[in-house]
Amino acid sequence: MSLINPFIYTIFSIFTSIRKLSTSNLNTKLFFSVSHDNNNDDILHPYYITGFSDGEGCFFINVRPRPNRNRGYAVELLFKITLSSKDKLLLEKIKDFFGVGRLLSQGSSVTYNVRSLDDLQVVVNHFDLYPLISNKYSDYILFRQVFELMKQGQHLNAEGLNKIVSIKAVSNRGLSSNLNLLFPKVIPAIRPSVKNQDIPSPHWVAGFVLFFPLFFNYKFIIYIVIKLFIKKREKN
């Protein structure tokens, strides 16, 4: 065992566990990704949350015309994760982890969402400490920029609103045709690049691959192991 990188060994252990996963037994999916701090096995590992959010999380910046609002527009931020209703237990555990937000069921799906600035502060604190590493990192940084502007009340004045529309223009959903007409002179902001795509923890892997097709899981984890092995060789 001493000849094997512990990180790689842990990933192989997770790989073996994933092969045994069953969507009807979510607890089996989570057993290798709980935090053992304070001997509480019901709290998900922070990097599991980040890995899962890299795969399934969404950061939305909404700007909507609202005649009754200051400046005539409403700016809303939303962090959400939507899954099949059969996986509601996982979303309940994610909600317990953050301690904020709501679960909403609709048809065969269930959504965990966080909207208020106070609640979003908890989400932002987490992703600042345990950063995303997929392309979703760029959307998070844009989301965070708008979050900071809203905390300062900048969304309530023309200059701040224009900054937010500029940021939204390069976000995951961009500007709607209606917003393009309403803000014809907007100059899109610079979309942030992903700074670090190194796998931070085996728990990130567990979260990221959990709801992807099994064939993809195999290929992805093998890719990670090879990448880590090459990186270790280069350092040596």
CATH number at residue 158: 3.10.28.10
Any domain includes 1: no
In degrees and rounded to multiples of 5, residue 95 shows phi and psi of -60, -40
Query: Which amino acid is located at 221 in the chain?
Result: I
Tens of pLDDT, residue by residue over 41-52, are 568 899 999 999
Lowest mean pLDDT among 7-11, 94-98, 183-187, 189-193: 7-11
The model's pTM: 0.80
Residue 98 lies in a domain: yes
Would the pLDDT of 138 be above 60?
A: yes
Give the confidence band of 144 by pLDDT, cuts at 50, 70, 90: very high
* pLDDT tens digits, one per residue of 124-133: 999 999 999 9
Q: What is the pLDDT of residue 6?
A: 59
Is residue 164 assigned to a domain? yes
Give me the pLDDT at residue 205, please.
Answer: 82
Q: Please state the rounded mean pLDDT for residues 164-172.
A: 96
Domain assignment of residue 21, yes or no: yes
How many domains does the structure of the chain reveal? 1
In-domain check, residue 29: yes
Kindly report the average pLDDT of the chain as a whole number: 82
215 pLDDT more than 60:
no
Q: Which two tokens stand for residue 122?
A: 């908890």
The residue with greater pLDDT, 55 or 121, is 121
95-111: pLDDT as tens digits: 999 999 999 999 999 99
Other Cβ atoms closer than 10 A to 93: 20
Instruction: Indicate the angle between helix axes 117-129 and 46-56, nearest 10 degrees.
Output: 110
Position 199 in a domain: yes
Element (H, E) at 105: strand 102-106
Give the SS3 label for residue 20: coil
Q: How many residues does the chain have?
A: 236
In a domain, 75, yes or no: yes
Is 192 part of a structural domain of the chain? yes
Range of the domain at 146: 6-235
